[in-house]
Structure 1
Amino acid sequence: MYEDSWYSFVPELQQRQPASTTQTTGHRRKQSLLEQPNAAADTDAEEPLPPILELQDDNSPPEPTVARRAKSYSDLYGMARAQVPGHDTRKRSKRKQGGRTWEALAVPESVTASLPAEPEPYDDALQKELLRASQRELYYDELALAERHLDALIQDANSALAVLESLCQSFNTVDEQTSSFQAQCDGLLAEQQHLQALAEAVGTDLQYYTYLDSATRRLNAPGAGRLVEGGSFAEILTTLDSCIDFMTRNSSYRDAESYLARYQSLLTKALHLLEVGFVNHLTKVSSEISRQVAATQSESARHALAYGRFEELLLDSYSLVPNVQAVVHSAYDEYGQLSSSPNAATYANTASNLFRSYWAARERDMKPILQHDLDAFRAEAKESSIETASRNFVKQCFERSDNEASLFRTIFGLDAHYSTDPDSAFVVLKSPRAVLTGANVAPIASNLQAVLQGSDLHTVCNFVGWIMHEYLLAEYDEEETPFAGRCRGLAARLLEEHLWTFTDALFEAEITKSISKAAVPQEALKIGPVTAGDISSNAFPHVKKALELLALFDQSMPKERCQRNSPVIFKIIKETIATLQRAESRIRSTKPAGTDPDLFMVKNLLILKNELMTLEIGDVRAQAPSGGLVGHMQHFSQIWDTVRAPTHLLGGLLSSFGSLTTYIPGSSRLWSRSGSNTPAGGGGTPVIGAAGPTQAVDDAGEQLDGLLRQSIVGFTKRWAGLLNEGRSGKLGGKNVEKLERELDEMLERAFGGQPEVVGKLKEAIQIEVDGLVRAKEGGRSFVTRV
């Protein structure tokens, strides 16, 4: 890499001989080591130069040196150390110190000091010129050497690039020549991957066929029953599910139907083994618990045995209970709804069998405890209050039901929510049993109904109302506890499915007994005076009973149920109207003294209508507001103020009454079951069951409003005619004042303490009288139409 001139450069420097000069007085500059070997000798070099300060500090670069070549690898280390500045200085100083041989010729300082000082000429400009010349020559040499090195590097790089270019061209040529071979290789690789995927798919599908023999051997082995207690049983069920699902999805595969039937048979076999194993374990635990429960008389000990000890023994079964939970979860989801898996029906059938076996065992274990609770309830009902005993029994049953539900969730891992789906777990658990299941409230209802059957209606209504207010309408200041939530659900189902229907039956029996078939004495047809300011004190006895039943039903039932086609309200109104019509017919036929049939109907129908508006059919009111309107017809002005046309008297009264559908939404079809027959002449009050054309009535509310309007119109028109005839002298001299006094006494006796009602009726009569007078003066007959 280096030229020969480089290697000849160093020896020439080493072989250079100093120019022979004559030693003169003073110091002479030595020949420069930087002088080139071929340079011409300077003619003035022989001239003496002024002395220079050898120790002068300047900015000149160090003297160039040429590193010697290493003779060996060990010598290379020595050369590297020699290049260190400090090491070279020390070595050089030692060499100088070791080479001192002129010390013997040294002149003593005393002699030197006595000699005269010899001047030393010095030329600074010349020294600087020499320094610049030597540096310039040195730089030129270094630049030339660097140029030669760079040229050599460029040539090497060019040759390397040429080689790389030739290699690239060679590779391109090879690539062009091997493109077809590469395409063939790619095709072979793709085919290999396709065959590999097919092999994996075939192997995956094949395992669904090969598992049949393994599952058959395991499930038909003599000790197959012990599999249900191991952790591998759940894996067997999962694999069978996968195989059945695969055969179902790929029914076109060879022998798929045969394998599907065999896998389903194996699944049924496995579930039967689980069912047998669980029943055997349950029977073993139940026999031990029932014996211990029967042997003790302590209620707390029985509770501990029936729940704590039973749970401990039943869960001590290795993996049997987890396998049972796996089957239940395969049949139902977390809310108790049937799962969507293909084998959900099979699992649900097994789960239903497991549930029945479990509750049968629980009935055997809990029979002494349940019988003791039932005996205590019946004894308390006979000795003390039936209502108090029923309340205590409900609380006790709710607590026991919650304990049973917690135990069931621990064993089966299922918390079934309320559902009407026949395939849900809730319906399976709801089936009637003697023991409470958390979803079954039939035992509570049956025991309560057996005791309440012989009690009066007030007691039943108070008890039903207590359940509603205690559990359904209770307000919790803090967050509701899980136990309170479960009690709320049990109470709602107890009322909805059993007690409300039971109470409705008692109401209907009471309506039939005290309204429909109750005898009406002759004294009840007379309108007596109002006592204690209560407008209903002199009402018809059947109307009083209807008001009592309406208030009782409203207090014991929620508002939603009273507004939902209640058959009880319908029957109360229908039977009361029928009884009033029969009483009116008797009054018209017997004509008791001091009783007007129209006024009789007006009074009783107004009281019935006022009570319906007061209760608002569903608004629970235990009592009237303090200082309120007990016994007053507080809604009469609201009814009367809606009269639109004064000349037509009460022609618009029907719109003011409205219909019961205003208070009972959606009840038109229910109320329309009642009808009314109107006499052929069209006059008088329609009578149910009377002969004549049948007039369809939309609902019982409209029938009530129609009867009330007709009675008011009949009363006012008749008395207006009497007063008009009295004033015209057609009554045979009967005094008008006597008629007015008789009218006042009749209205005061009927509506004592209600001046507003009396005033409105007298005003209506006067309006009717004025209408007759105007009609007479006009020479034409004027008949008020309703």
Structure 2
Amino acid sequence: MYEDSWYSFVPDFQQKRAAAQGAPAPGHRRKESLLQQPNGVADHVDGADSLAAVPEEDQDDPNSPPSATLARRAKSYSDFYDIVKAEISKSSPKKKRGRRRGPGTWEALALPDPPADLPPQDDFGGDNLLLASQQEYQLYHDQLAMTERHLGTLIEDANSALKVLETLCQSFRAVEDQTKSFQAQCDDLLSEQKRLQTLADEVGTDLYYYGYLDTVTRRLNAPGAARLVDDDSFEEILANLESCIAFMSANPSYRDAESYLARYQALLTKALHLLEVSFTSRLDKVSAEISRQIAATQSESARHALAYGRFEEMLMESYALIPNVQRVIRKAYDQRGLATNGPNFDTFANTANNLFQAYWAARDHDLKPITMQEQQSFKTEATGSGIETGARNFIKLCFERSYNESSLFRKIFSIEPQYSTDPKSAFVALKSQHRSLVTGTNITPVATHLQLVLQNGDLQTICNLVGWLTNEYALLEYDEDETPFTSHCRDLTARLLTEHLWTFTDAFFEAEIAQSISRAVVQPEALKIGPAANGETSSNAFPPTKRAVELLVMFDQAMPKERCQRNSPVVFKIIKESIAALHRAEARIKSSKNGTDPDLFMIKNLLMLKNELLSLEIGDIRSSDQGNIHFGQIWETLRPQNLMGLLSSFSTYIPGSSYWSSPRTGTPVAGDSGNGHVEVQDASEQLDEQLRQSIYAFTRRWAGLVNDARAKKLGKNLAKLERELDEMLERAFASQPEVVAKLKEAIQIEAQAQMQGDKKGNVVTRV
């Protein structure tokens, strides 16, 4: 950091050292200090004559001043302090620790008196000694002074540099002020350049959409244009045509935009037509080979391998034909077969439908021998071992065939159409194409063949088949994992039931209702309540009522609960027609007077229907697990709240109605559509209304008979009347003692009410 001359504190060091070594010491042997600076006093020190009285000092004397040494050169100013400190520590004498001396040694320390003849020292010798002892500190003083001068020089240089920098800053500010207008002009020129460059790019891009017309026209009209569909460049052509069509559609104000738009659309149609032709040619080639091999073999496994494995292998052998077909299909539909609604959707959807139609036509042709054999086997099995067994086997076979066809269709066209009602979806497009092959979108063939065979069966067989189909495929077990095949079968089952078999089954039920209930021929013996066989209540019921109960059970077993609720037309018709048949039977009983109580007849059969509805949980009504207690549940809602007092209030089974109240004006009655009455559109409400009326009429009439017997207005005594009532109730409700007890209790309550009303002279009006 410092120059070497800065540390040359003794310039004539070498010369004086040589002179000192050559001249002998006149007075003593002390060497000249190496750090002595040249000054005027040094010459007097060198003269030994003036220091004759100073005794000689040995160089090894510990009390003698240290010999001067050359200090180590400092690396930098910051290291200077460390060097000085080290030199001081070396020159300071070390303390010696001696042994403790005894009292006898103190005399040795006494200094002798100076001799009297010693000449006195002059002041010149004391000054020299002081100067010699301060040589080390004088060196430090000189070094610090030199450092101070050097630092002052650095400060002056730094101030000069700052002044120069300030001058430069002022110059730069002046230049900046003078060049502001120039910079603004340069910025404007750069902005204009960017604008022109952007405009040029846009013009070039727009010109590309115009210039591409000639290129694509030559490529699509070339003699070998059909080979483009089996190459990767076909995708690029379609993408460019779509971009050109989108550009012309977005900029109708450009020159000749409409003309170019029409030509690009025509070229897109031509390209897609080339794809259709190539795909159809490929299908025809593969189909001819596959159909010939299928017809030549009778093995089921070989036919299956040819129809699916070999067909897929041969059709996928092309380089880029099938990938290009998949790209076109996906431009019209997504993975689930829903419409993409792009700008060219109609064009791509039309091509996709044509490809679908060509594909299914080829598949129908190839699999026709297999489907014909399966249909013939089903007809044979249905007439031989049974319709139900044959129908089950045929359904399983059709579901497997449909799953295989759906898997092959997904591999070729890269979509799997899901059920949808959107008219633009692939599902609707495939469903509209009538075919004889069962697929995921076409279940009409299996429904048609099932209905042709089931028409010759009975209603029980149809219900068994529909119930099996629902439980086998539509209901998923919780402990089973859903496989793709299971999911496919569930979708097919839902569509087969909702679109075909449920409607077909409802028609059979309606025909059976009309035949066995509405137009049933009733014999006179059926109008009497005979003794119950084996204690079964239904054994002496009205035959149409028993058939109605059987139909309700069959319908509940065949259909899910959602179809058995109040919105079911079949359940509504069963109840409605049963009530109408009971009304006709009641009228015949009243006219023939065959000894049967018409009100009790109605109560027995209506309760039978009501109990069955509750047991099957039809109409959102829950029942207990025990049998034949439904009337007791109903009775708890029918009995008066105060059995001992006047019947001022009544509990109701349905809000707004009561079995014990008299018919209200305008109350809808089942089967009554005249006189301003509106027919009730709920089977449960119709049944409850008729049951309320019948119970009210029966208890009121027998309560009057009991009161008359008590008043001895009749020839029969009270005991005989009660015995006759007990026999009639026991015969009607042999296995239902609760019903008998409740009816007798109701008669007693009504009899008491009539007696109290007669005493007051008032007519009891029960609301």
> Per the shorter chain, which TM-score range?
0.7 to 0.9
Tell me the residue number matched to 1:357: 358
CA shift at 1:425, angstroms? 1.1
Tell me the residue number matched to 2:756: 774
Deviation string, structure 1 residues 408-444 (Cα, Å, up to 9, x no partner): 1111110122211111111122234211221222122
Q: Distance in 2 between matches of 1:157 and 1:396?
A: 103
Q: Given the two structures, how large is their TM-score scaled by the length of structure 2?
A: 0.83
Tell me the residue number matched to 2:277: 276
CA shift at 1:229, angstroms? 0.6
Paired residues for 1:548-697 under 5 Å:
548-563=550-565, 565-592=567-594, 594-617=595-618, 628-629=626-627, 632=628, 634-643=629-638, 645=640, 652=650, 655-656=652-653, 688=671, 693-697=675-679
Residue type of the alignment partner of 1:63: L
Tell me the residue number matched to 2:688: 705
Residue type of the alignment partner of 2:386: S
CA shift at 1:52, angstroms? 4.9
Q: Distance in 2 between matches of 1:448 and 1:66?
A: 117
**Mean Cα deviation higher: 18-27 or 559-568:** 18-27
Q: Distance in 1 between matches of 2:512 and 2:337?
A: 42
Q: Is contact 1:557-1:618 (8 Å) kept? A: no
Tell me the residue number matched to 2:242: 241
* Secondary structure of the corresponding residue to residue 319 of structure 2: coil
Q: Distance in 2 between matches of 1:453 and 1:465?
A: 17
Q: Distance in 2 between matches of 1:128 and 1:619?
A: 133
Tell me the residue number matched to 1:77: none
Residue type of the alignment partner of 1:656: Y
Tell me the residue number matched to 2:523: 521
Residue type of the alignment partner of 2:637: T
* Secondary structure of the corresponding residue to residue 245 of structure 1: helix
CA shift at 1:130, angstroms? 7.0
Answering whether residue 501 of structure 2 is matched by residue 499 of structure 1, we say: yes
CA shift at 1:721, angstroms? 2.7
Q: Distance in 1 between matches of 2:8 and 2:727?
A: 163
Tell me the residue number matched to 2:709: 726
CA shift at 1:540, angstroms? 0.6
Q: Distance in 2 between matches of 1:437 and 1:61?
A: 117
**Mean Cα deviation higher: 641-650 or 168-177:** 641-650
Q: Distance in 2 between matches of 1:744 and 1:66?
A: 143
* Secondary structure of the corresponding residue to residue 18 of structure 1: helix
**Mean Cα deviation higher: 356-365 or 236-245:** 236-245
Tell me the residue number matched to 2:87: none
* Secondary structure of the corresponding residue to residue 19 of structure 2: coil
CA shift at 1:574, angstroms? 1.4
**Kindly tell me: are residues 206 and 475 of structure 1, through their superposed partners in 2, closer, same or farther at Cα, counting changes over 3 Å?**
same
Q: Distance in 1 between matches of 2:44 and 2:185?
A: 87
* Secondary structure of the corresponding residue to residue 185 of structure 2: helix
Tell me the residue number matched to 1:416: 417
Tell me the residue number matched to 2:474: 472
Q: Given the two structures, how large is their TM-score scaled by the length of structure 1?
A: 0.81
Paired residues for 1:66-465 under 5 Å:
132-431=133-432, 432-465=434-467
Q: Is contact 1:416-1:425 (8 Å) kept? A: yes
Deviation string, structure 1 residues 475-495 (Cα, Å, up to 9, x no partner): 131432222122111111111
Tell me the residue number matched to 1:717: 700
Q: Is contact 2:531-2:731 (8 Å) kept? A: yes
**Kindly tell me: are residues 391 and 128 of structure 1, through their superposed partners in 2, closer, same or farther at Cα, counting changes over 3 Å?**
farther
Q: Distance in 2 between matches of 1:536 and 1:356?
A: 59
Q: Is contact 2:638-2:653 (8 Å) kept? A: yes
**Kindly tell me: are residues 375 and 146 of structure 1, through their superposed partners in 2, closer, same or farther at Cα, counting changes over 3 Å?**
same
**Kindly tell me: are residues 689 and 55 of structure 1, through their superposed partners in 2, closer, same or farther at Cα, counting changes over 3 Å?**
same
Q: Is contact 1:650-1:709 (8 Å) kept? A: no
Q: Is contact 2:382-2:453 (8 Å) kept? A: yes
**Kindly tell me: are residues 466 and 19 of structure 1, through their superposed partners in 2, closer, same or farther at Cα, counting changes over 3 Å?**
closer
Q: Distance in 1 between matches of 2:365 and 2:692?
A: 66
CA shift at 1:644, angstroms? 5.3
CA shift at 1:140, angstroms? 4.1
Tell me the residue number matched to 1:738: 720
Equivalent of 1:484, from 483, 486, 489?
A: 486
CA shift at 1:181, angstroms? 1.0
Q: Distance in 1 between matches of 2:639 and 2:356?
A: 68
Q: Distance in 2 between matches of 1:345 and 1:648?
A: 79
CA shift at 1:144, angstroms? 4.2
Q: Distance in 2 between matches of 1:152 and 1:406?
A: 96
Taking only aligned residues, the RMSD between alpha carbons, in angstroms, comes to 3.7
Q: Distance in 2 between matches of 1:482 and 1:620?
A: 38
Residue type of the alignment partner of 2:370: I
Q: Distance in 1 between matches of 2:580 and 2:343?
A: 61
**Mean Cα deviation higher: 358-367 or 736-745:** 736-745
Q: Distance in 1 between matches of 2:210 and 2:617?
A: 72
- Identical columns (%): 61
**Kindly tell me: are residues 61 and 219 of structure 1, through their superposed partners in 2, closer, same or farther at Cα, counting changes over 3 Å?**
farther
**Kindly tell me: are residues 59 and 544 of structure 1, through their superposed partners in 2, closer, same or farther at Cα, counting changes over 3 Å?**
farther
Q: Distance in 1 between matches of 2:19 and 2:177?
A: 72
Q: Distance in 2 between matches of 1:59 and 1:385?
A: 137
Deviation string, structure 1 residues 389-412 (Cα, Å, up to 9, x no partner): 211221221111111111111111
Q: Distance in 2 between matches of 1:422 and 1:446?
A: 24
**Kindly tell me: are residues 304 and 19 of structure 1, through their superposed partners in 2, closer, same or farther at Cα, counting changes over 3 Å?**
closer
Q: Distance in 1 between matches of 2:413 and 2:5?
A: 103
Residue type of the alignment partner of 2:529: I
Q: Distance in 1 between matches of 2:270 and 2:536?
A: 78
CA shift at 1:659, angstroms? 10
Q: Is contact 1:649-1:764 (8 Å) kept? A: no
**Kindly tell me: are residues 539 and 126 of structure 1, through their superposed partners in 2, closer, same or farther at Cα, counting changes over 3 Å?**
farther
CA shift at 1:507, angstroms? 0.6
* Secondary structure of the corresponding residue to residue 536 of structure 1: helix
**Kindly tell me: are residues 784 and 142 of structure 1, through their superposed partners in 2, closer, same or farther at Cα, counting changes over 3 Å?**
closer
**Mean Cα deviation higher: 579-588 or 50-59:** 50-59
CA shift at 1:740, angstroms? 2.7
Q: Distance in 2 between matches of 1:488 and 1:419?
A: 16
**Mean Cα deviation higher: 24-33 or 288-297:** 24-33
**Kindly tell me: are residues 524 and 128 of structure 1, through their superposed partners in 2, closer, same or farther at Cα, counting changes over 3 Å?**
farther
Q: Is contact 1:561-1:618 (8 Å) kept? A: no
CA shift at 1:743, angstroms? 2.2
Q: Distance in 2 between matches of 1:6 and 1:767?
A: 142
Tell me the residue number matched to 1:765: 747
Tell me the residue number matched to 1:63: 70
CA shift at 1:205, angstroms? 2.6
Residue type of the alignment partner of 1:427: V
Q: Is contact 2:248-2:257 (8 Å) kept? A: yes
**Kindly tell me: are residues 456 and 65 of structure 1, through their superposed partners in 2, closer, same or farther at Cα, counting changes over 3 Å?**
closer
Q: Distance in 1 between matches of 2:246 and 2:515?
A: 65
Q: Distance in 2 between matches of 1:65 and 1:529?
A: 143
CA shift at 1:581, angstroms? 1.2
Q: Distance in 2 between matches of 1:650 and 1:496?
A: 51
CA shift at 1:135, angstroms? 2.7
* Secondary structure of the corresponding residue to residue 499 of structure 2: helix
Q: Distance in 2 between matches of 1:521 and 1:439?
A: 52
CA shift at 1:656, angstroms? 1.8
CA shift at 1:18, angstroms? 2.4
Q: Is contact 2:669-2:680 (8 Å) kept? A: no
